[in-house]
Amino acid sequence: MLEIKNLHASVDGKAILKGLDLSIGAGEVHALMGPNGSGKSTLAYVMTGRDGYRVTEGEIVYKGRDLLAMSPEERAGEGLFLAFQYPVEIPGVPNTTFLKESLNAVRKYRGEEVLDAMQFVKLARRRMKELGVSEDLLKRPLNVGFSGGEKKRNEVLQMAVLEPTLAVLDETDSGLDIDALKAVADGVNALRSPERSTLIITHYQRLLDYIVPDKVHVLAGGRIVRSGDKELARELEKTGYAAFTGEAA
Amino acid sequence: MAVSSETLETVRSVTGGEYKYGFVTDIESDFAPRGLNEDIVRFISAKKEEPDWLLQWRLKAYRFWTGLEHEEPKWSKVQHPPIDFQDAYYYAAPKEAKDGPKSLDEVDPELLRTYEKLGIPLREQEVLAGVAVDAVFDSISVATTYKEKLAELGIVFCPFSEAVKEHPDLVQKYLGSVVPYSDNFYATLNSAVFSDGSFVYIPPGVRCPMELSTYFRINAANTGQFERTLIIADRDSYVSYLEGCTAPMRDENQLHAAVVELVTHDNAEIKYATIQNWYPGDKDGKGGIYNFVTKRGACRGRNSKISWTQVETGSAITWKYPSVILQGDNSIGEFYSVAVTNNYQQADTGTKMIHIGKNTKSRIISKGISAGHGQNTYRGLVRMLGKAEGARNYTQCDSLLIGDRCGAHTVPYIECKNRSAIVEHEATTSKISEDQLFYCRQRGLGEEDAVALVVNGFCREVLQQLPMEFAVEAQKLVGISLEGSVG
């Protein structure tokens, strides 16, 4: 599904990723953990093609194709989805409009027929029910005045509607109370399937109690310094990252 | 229907650039000879078989205008080379059978196809959309749909020139009563040479059951378009009116100086919406329409209401201030505006709300979007006169900038002569953020679709004021006019 080889990337001329290797197979859930400033979000933005994140070396192959050669919207069309750490507010654009435009843009890219308003509402309602998201969320302007929990749930709703093949969750757990955390985890778990892969970026092991990963990686100093199974996350919780940052240096 | 340059050369050689009474009929359009003088004014009036009082009114305006020479308004922020008013045609009509079309069947099929390209299939609209359309092509009204149906209710909706013939009393009573011929340079010019436009009269107690709509198009080269629209809502009546405008691409700048007058009597309401998409010039600022328009409404009656909504995406220069004079007690004036300037477009637009009556209210919502080298100015006046007890105004001016070469300017004037009146003004300026665009693109939207989505969100409050089918159209238009503004 995803092969990242020797990835070097910089932001504003400052090297952040320094030779990152990561391989995620179809249907797998990986967790990427690491201290602040280790390059976790940078990786998410490099993968999704954000301006200002320059790849200086290495490659990313996604579904057998050169991911870095694609525009952000092409990557989305190819099934790459990022649940943002800080979902962006767009005043005046109803959540439902945004979701419908997104879905139809992605469907168009895939050569599928676009959904009309009725078909879309039906689909959105079904997903909302599955995720326990209140319908009122759809009518409000995108993320405007949403609580932290609502924003994160809305990201998961978008994910459920867009049905990506590779989802990257960037600190989706940060700032959530335990109920919201569970709801988000349920949403992600419901989407688990043999064709769909997930990369969960997080500081804490907490979310991994609810979404059990196949593999856990520790990112420090711009590289993966250690990989293991879910036990690695528990170990980290006890020892902290200090040992790893030392390792990286 | 486009007039080829050879044809224009023919016209030039025939007329020699000077007035020789007569006009050329062996081409696709009837032109008045190039230039402007008293004889041209007489020519236009004669061509339209107008009564003497109207000719005299035109001449009064023309003489006043000659006294104003080089007195074009200079106070706005727009800049353009001086306009040579003698280097334009003031009358151009698509060639027609002498008596004009009696029904759509008699309209030149070429012309109807042009309208279809513009997205206003008259035939279909008549059947499907429930919108009555008066289509003005260059200077004359081509067809007015739905007229008979409206006539049953006593509603008059017809080309201005026809109203002059069939409802002279109404025209004479109201023409120039809101925008006098001496009002301003361009309105005065319009008063002298106006060619056609729409006329609407809604009788007492009648609620017009459908949207009335006019479609303007400048087709012939070097032609100024000077339409004149007059809408009267008698007491207890209601009408919603929409005008759309386009012009083909031309290298030269073309002048469009329209005048619109609205009058509401007791308890009457007029909603007037404009979707203006005149040719804006190319990306280097060459060509495009100079849209210098005077629009004003008078709430003469108690509890009456006038609401302007405009979506201004076209024209090289837009200079217009749809205003409301709030005479009647408890009357309400509204102005909802979206103005988009991309490339080298300039817009200086806003409104005037003149509060005269007691408890009069006004609301101004202006959304300016600047991209490329576009310059966008909101200019507005809120005036509370001494007797405007309890009058209220709320103004909100929001500017959105795309890129770093464009400009947004807000120039509000507030004059308050009554202690009990309340005036509120809010303004914001923001840039379209990279965060927003990236978020949209990550969800699969192309860059231009992302811009269109964010901008439409910004304009939503205004676009919501438009009738449903036009709101969708306007949304698309806003997106299209910003193409090429990012990346």
The 3-state secondary structure of B227-286 reads CEEEEEECCCCEEEEEEEEECCCCCCEEEECCEEEEEECCCCEEEEEEEEECCCCCCCCC
Residue B415 phi/psi, 5-degree rounding, is -125, 120
Distance CA A92, CA B453 (A): 9
Tell me whether A208 touches chain B (CB under 8 Å): no
Tell me whether B54 touches chain A (CB under 8 Å): no
Q: Are B311 and B275 in contact (CB under 8 A)?
A: yes
pLDDT at A47 over 80: yes
What average pLDDT does the segment B226-238 reach? 95
Whether residue A88 and residue B461 make contact (CB cut-off 8 A), yes or no, is no
H/E stretch holding A198: strand A197-202
What's the CA angle centered on B110, arms B105 and B111, to 5 degrees? 75
Q: Are A142 and A172 in contact (CB under 8 A)?
A: no
Nearest chain A residue to B487, by CA = A51
Whether residue A98 and residue B449 make contact (CB cut-off 8 A), yes or no, is no
Mutation target vs B (from A11, A12, A93, A162; most B CBs, 10 A cutoff):
A93
What average pLDDT does the segment B346-356 reach? 95
Burial call B334-363: b when 16+ CB within 10 Å, e when fewer = bbbbbbbbbbbbbbbbbbbbbbbbbbbbbb
Predicted local distance difference test score (pLDDT) of residue B221: 47
pLDDT at B200 over 90: yes
Among B307, B229, B242, B296, which Cα is nearest to B274's?
A: B242
Predicted local distance difference test score (pLDDT) of residue B125: 41
Nearest chain A residue to B459, by CA = A92
Burial call A151-173: b when 16+ CB within 10 Å, e when fewer = bbbbbbbbbbbbbbbbbbbbbbb
Among A117-121, B259-263, B469-473, the range of highest mean pLDDT: B259-263
Predicted local distance difference test score (pLDDT) of residue B20: 25
Distance CA A124, CA B248 (A): 42
Distance CA B14, CA B23 (A): 9
ipTM for the predicted complex: 0.96
Cβ-Cβ contacts under 8 Å, B445 against chain A? 73, 101-102, 105
Whether residue B441 and residue A71 make contact (CB cut-off 8 A), yes or no, is yes
Its pTM surpasses 0.95: no
pLDDT tens track for A76-103: 999 999 999 999 999 999 999 999 999 9
Task: Write down the H helix ranges in A79-171.
Answer: 95-109, 117-131, 136-139, 148-162
User: Residue B353 corresponds to which tokens in the numbers above?
Assistant: 């709300």
Tell me whether B460 touches chain A (CB under 8 Å): yes
Tell me whether A117 touches chain B (CB under 8 Å): no
N-term to C-term CA, chain B = 37
Which residues are CB-neighbours of B316 under 8 A, at least 6 positions away? Answer: B80, B253, B279, B280, B281, B285, B287, B288, B289, B290, B344, B345, B346
Mean pLDDT of chain B: 81
Own/partner pairs for B468-476, CB < 8 Å, 24+ apart?
A: B469/B129, B469/B131, B470/B242, B470/B244, B470/B273, B470/B275, B473/B119, B473/B275, B474/B275, B474/B311, B474/B338
Cβ-Cβ contacts under 8 Å, A81 against chain B? 442
Cβ-Cβ contacts under 8 Å, A142 against chain B? 457
CA-to-CA separations, B329 to B112, B295, B304, B326, B332, in angstroms, rounded: 45, 22, 8, 8, 9
Nearest chain B residue to A159, by CA = B443
Whether residue A158 and residue B442 make contact (CB cut-off 8 A), yes or no, is no
Predicted local distance difference test score (pLDDT) of residue B171: 96
Q: Which of B438, B444, B460 sits opposite A109 (nearest CB)?
A: B444
**Between residues B72 and A159, which one has the greater pLDDT?**
A159
Tell me whether B487 touches chain A (CB under 8 Å): no
Predicted local distance difference test score (pLDDT) of residue B473: 76
pLDDT at B121 over 80: no
Q: Which of A49, A73, A90 sits opposite B444 (nearest CB)?
A: A73
How far is CA A67 from its chain centroid? 16
**Between residues B95 and B361, which one has the greater pLDDT?**
B361
Query: Three-state DSSP class for B350?
Result: strand
Q: Which of B435, B444, B459 sits opposite A88 (nearest CB)?
A: B435
**Between residues B76 and A123, which one has the greater pLDDT?**
A123
Query: Three-state DSSP class for A36?
Result: coil
Among B408, B231, B441, B117, which Cα is nearest to A77's?
A: B441
Tell me whether B428 touches chain A (CB under 8 Å): no
The length of chain B in residues reads 487
Predicted local distance difference test score (pLDDT) of residue A32: 95
Task: Write down the H helix ranges in B108-159.
Answer: 109-117, 122-124, 147-151
N-term to C-term CA, chain A = 30
**Between residues B52 and B128, which one has the greater pLDDT?**
B52
Q: Which of A84, A101, A142 sits opposite B445 (nearest CB)?
A: A101
**Between residues B420 and A131, which one has the greater pLDDT?**
B420
Tell me whether B431 touches chain A (CB under 8 Å): no
Predicted local distance difference test score (pLDDT) of residue B135: 59
**Between residues B361 and B212, which one has the greater pLDDT?**
B361
pLDDT at B22 over 50: no
User: Residue A38 corresponds to which tokens in the numbers above?
Assistant: 């280790």
Q: Are B333 and B297 in contact (CB under 8 A)?
A: yes
Whether residue B443 and residue A48 make contact (CB cut-off 8 A), yes or no, is no
Q: Are B155 and B242 in contact (CB under 8 A)?
A: no
pLDDT tens track for A206-216: 889 899 999 99
Predicted local distance difference test score (pLDDT) of residue B248: 54
Q: Are B174 and B232 in contact (CB under 8 A)?
A: yes
**Between residues B140 and A43, which one has the greater pLDDT?**
A43
For CA atoms A146, A149, A150, A156, the dihedral sign is positive
Whether residue B445 and residue A109 make contact (CB cut-off 8 A), yes or no, is no
Lowest mean pLDDT among A191-205, B111-125, B259-273: B111-125
User: Residue B157 corresponds to which tokens in the numbers above?
Assistant: 């909706």
Q: Which residue has the tokens 């870095």?
A: A68
User: How do B323-326 and B361-370 pair as beta strands?
Assistant: unpaired
pLDDT at A245 over 70: no
Distance from CA of A225 to the nearest CA of B (A): 29
Predicted local distance difference test score (pLDDT) of residue B34: 79
Tell me whether A93 touches chain B (CB under 8 Å): yes
pLDDT tens track for B280-304: 888 888 888 889 999 999 999 999 9
Among A56, A131, A135, which Cα is nearest to A95's?
A: A135
Predicted local distance difference test score (pLDDT) of residue A57: 95
The pLDDT > 70 percentage for chain B reads 77
Cβ-Cβ contacts under 8 Å, B398 against chain A? none
**Between residues B86 and B125, which one has the greater pLDDT?**
B86
Tell me whether B67 touches chain A (CB under 8 Å): no
Q: What are residue B189's DSSP bridge partners? A: none
Distance CA B11, CA B296 (A): 37
Mean pLDDT of chain A: 91
User: Residue A214 corresponds to which tokens in the numbers above?
Assistant: 């196949």
Among B434, B483, B485, which Cα is nearest to A50's?
A: B434
pLDDT at B126 over 70: no
Q: Which of B438, B443, B447 sits opposite A50 (nearest CB)?
A: B438
Whether residue B444 and residue A91 make contact (CB cut-off 8 A), yes or no, is no
Mutation target vs B (from A11, A82, A84, A101; most B CBs, 10 A cutoff):
A101
pLDDT at B97 over 50: no
Distance CA B377, CA B362 (A): 20
Tell me whether A71 touches chain B (CB under 8 Å): yes
Q: Which residue has the tokens 């001329």?
A: A13
Distance from CA of B444 to the nearest CA of A (A): 4
How far is CA B478 from its chain centroid? 17
What average pLDDT does the segment A38-46 reach? 94
Report CA dihedral (A131, A134, A135, A141) to the nearest 10 degrees.
Answer: -100
Q: Are A211 and A233 in contact (CB under 8 A)?
A: no
Q: Which of A51, A97, A106 sits opposite B434 (nearest CB)?
A: A51
Helix, strand, coil percentages in chain A from 3-state DSSP, rounded to 5: 40, 30, 30
HEC profile of B19-69: CCCCCCCCCCEEECCCCCCHHHHHHHHHHCCCCHHHHHHHHHHHHHHHHCC
Q: Which of B435, B444, B461 sits opposite A76 (nearest CB)?
A: B444
Predicted local distance difference test score (pLDDT) of residue B264: 98
Mutation target vs B (from A90, A108, A146; most B CBs, 10 A cutoff):
A90
How far is CA B7 from its chain centroid? 29
